[in-house]
């Protein structure tokens, strides 16, 4: 629900509730996926459990936060998930090891 096929790939325009139902210790949404450029995408809530808006994010729909580095967020405003790519696009033929750092993994709430 909330997505559709585009050629041979399926993609979402918003994050289904079933994917955005885990949170970090401070209320921040957990990881809901990885984008083609290797950066993480988190659900609708930022630090403190506050729902993110376009005003909180850059043109590509992400932001850099302290030691976490750059990552994307979903919002209920257009473009909903990712507006553009901040990093180098990784196609299906490439594999990790293209000199891009692995994404940071945040501590999940127990």
Give the C-alpha separation, 32 to 81, whole Å: 11
- The pTM for the full model equals 0.70
Q: Tell me, yes or no, whether 32 lies in a domain.
A: yes
Q: Tell me, yes or no, whether 99 lies in a domain.
A: no
Q: What is the pLDDT of residue 81?
A: 85
Give the C-alpha separation, 14 to 47, whole Å: 20
**44-94 pLDDT per residue, tens:** 999 899 999 999 999 999 998 776 789 999 998 888 888 888 887 765 544
Output phi, psi for 105, to 5 deg. Answer: -110, 125
Tokens found for residue 108 = 């999940």
Q: Tell me, yes or no, whether 86 lies in a domain.
A: no
Residue 65 pairs in a beta bridge with 69
Q: Tell me, yes or no, whether 68 lies in a domain.
A: yes
Total domains present in the chain:
1
Q: Tell me, yes or no, whether 103 lies in a domain.
A: no
Number of H helices, E strands in the chain: 0, 6
* Nearest CA-CA partner of 72 in 105, 45, 108, 40: 40
Q: Tell me, yes or no, whether 97 lies in a domain.
A: no
Q: Which domain holds residue 51?
A: 3-73
Q: Tell me, yes or no, whether 96 lies in a domain.
A: no
User: What is the DSSP-derived secondary structure letter of residue 91?
Assistant: -
Mean pLDDT (the chain) is: 77
% of the chain residues with pLDDT over 90: 19
Q: Tell me, yes or no, whether 78 lies in a domain.
A: no
């Amino acid at each position: 629900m909330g997505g559709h096929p585009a050629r041979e790939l399926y993609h979402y325009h918003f994050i289904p509730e079933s994917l955005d139902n885990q949170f970090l210790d401070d209320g921040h949404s957990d990881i809901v996926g990885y984008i083609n450029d290797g950066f993480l995408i988190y659900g609708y809530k930022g630090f403190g459990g506050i729902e993110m808006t376009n005003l909180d994010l850059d043109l590509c729909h992400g932001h850099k936060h302290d030691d976490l580095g750059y990552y994307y967020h979903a919002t209920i405003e257009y473009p909903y998930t990712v507006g553009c790519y901040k990093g180098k696009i990784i196609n299906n033929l490439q594999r990790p090891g293209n000199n891009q750092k692995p994404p940071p993994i945040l501590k999940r709430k127990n």
